[in-house]
A and B are shown apart, each in its own frame.
Chain A
């Protein structure tokens, strides 16, 4: 389980997050929607300390830290319980697909080489890329790279995987591949927080949908409630474009 309360973040004078809360139960899939610049990605990055939030609390697996006085040890400990999938895949360019999955297992999870290799191969099989194990990222398509990125996150068996617009850099055909994989993962009970613009995916897969704008959560609810009976006019306006399409 992961909870974040009252997360604040400012870049200079601009306050990007104005007190955002999030509660994720084990096995839940939460999608965060919202226009560009609403603070979704920043919020997600704060949950992994890639951005340092100015204020707020974070609890992961019973461990609670305060954002403005978190030390390096707690930061590493929480990072090791979470994983992130990035918009630009962020695979290690000097490592093969297999090594990309093995490296975090060996260096952060202190697993033996043979065991991490076994896990990496299982992971590659899960994302149907076993035959690409020894390929370098530069030799793989965007969709394949992102599936490796997802396998890398899955392999460490985290309490929650954070997805930061995982399909935004892909062409429409490849988007399907990656979303299909994410649906399978969601069904297998992995806890996920997904920042996305894929409305259909959010509707089908999420347990809860959050609509963010201007650094606050405007509305939160089940996909059914948010997409078909939004309470706030802003949510309605944002979603109507997708619902009519």
Chain B
């Protein structure tokens, strides 16, 4: 089997035009996951009745299902029910007009919400009850304790896990081609099929993923060192 470098370059060029799509899906998933994960972690940390149990049950089911199945199932459910649902609430929108990124972002958000809520729950627990007791004992309210004491300490600790989650999301985003979205992986596959040069295309897209993820890892490392210096957590 021969390796044609020019096809490698060609695939690399084609696929890299879709970096934006991959990043959009992964970053949206991360942001939604951060917000929901934080809220759910707080709900579980403070043991809010009913909601807390609900999320435990919800996660137990979703955690066990491969993301590719969640993606395909969500797509089918949306495809079958969206038009009816939209008509029901008086929306003019049809499924075929919907932004094709909505479903992948929705599914990756589930993935990141589950992961990040567990991460946050762990970091909250690592802060220790003493500081919360101290804050309560001088009459600080729950919201003040969360904003002033818990989050400033939990977020830097959670940072490495957040960057891991983002890397996981970028890799998982390669699945979006299954629901008709063209990302870097799908673009590379298309170029491979046109030229019958699969190895070159796959290696080219692997290189793109590697570059993206290295940048994220380096960036997170820098940010982490910066935060640690400011918070003096390294000496703790």
Contacts and interface: CB of A to CB of B under 8 A. Distances in A.
Nearest to B234: A138
B170 to A, nearest CB: 31
Contacts of A162: 137
B225 interface: no
Interface stretch (A3-11, A100-108, A118-126, A185-193): A100-108
A156 B138 CA distance: 8
Given A93-B131, A94-B153, A79 B235 contact: no
Contacts of A86: 130, 133-134
Contact of B144 (A49, A82, A107): A107
Contacts of B149: 92, 94
Interface in A78-112: 79-80, 82-84, 86, 88-94, 103-104, 107-109
B137 A138 contact: no
Interface residues of A, number: 33
Contacts of A138: 232-233, 235-236
Contact of A139 (B136, B140, B141, B232): B232
Contacts of B139: 76-77, 79-80, 104, 108-109
A50 B133 contact: yes
A48 interface: yes
A103 B232 contact: no
Interface string B99-130: 00000000000000000000000000001001
B206 interface: no
B137 A84 contact: yes
A83 B131 contact: no
* SS class, residues of chain B in contact with chain A: helix
A203 interface: no
B131 A136 contact: no
B148 interface: yes
A64 B135 CA distance: 22
Interface in A4-52: 45, 48-50
A152 interface: yes
Nearest to A108: B139
Contacts of B152: 94
Contacts of A76: 139, 141
B231 interface: yes
A82 B153 contact: no
Contacts of B232: 136, 138-139
A90 B136 CA distance: 11
A136 B235 contact: yes
Contact of B153 (A50, A93, A107): A93
A31 B10 CA distance: 81
Given A80-B138, A136-B232, A136-B235, A107 B148 contact: yes
Contacts of B153: 93-94
A79 to B, nearest CB: 4
A50 B137 contact: yes
Contacts of B236: 93, 136-138
26 contacts: A50-B133, A79-B136, A82-B137, A83-B137, A83-B138, A84-B133, A84-B138, A86-B134, A90-B134, A92-B131, A92-B149, A93-B231, A94-B153, A94-B231, A94-B233, A103-B148, A104-B135, A104-B139, A107-B140, A107-B148, A108-B139, A136-B235, A137-B236, A138-B236, A139-B235, A149-B134
Interface of A: 45, 48-50, 76-77, 79-80, 82-84, 86, 88-94, 103-104, 107-109, 136-139, 149, 152-153, 156, 162
Given A76-B139, A79-B138, A93-B127, 8 more contacts: A79-B139, A83-B137, A89-B130, A92-B131, A104-B135, A136-B232, A138-B236, A153-B138
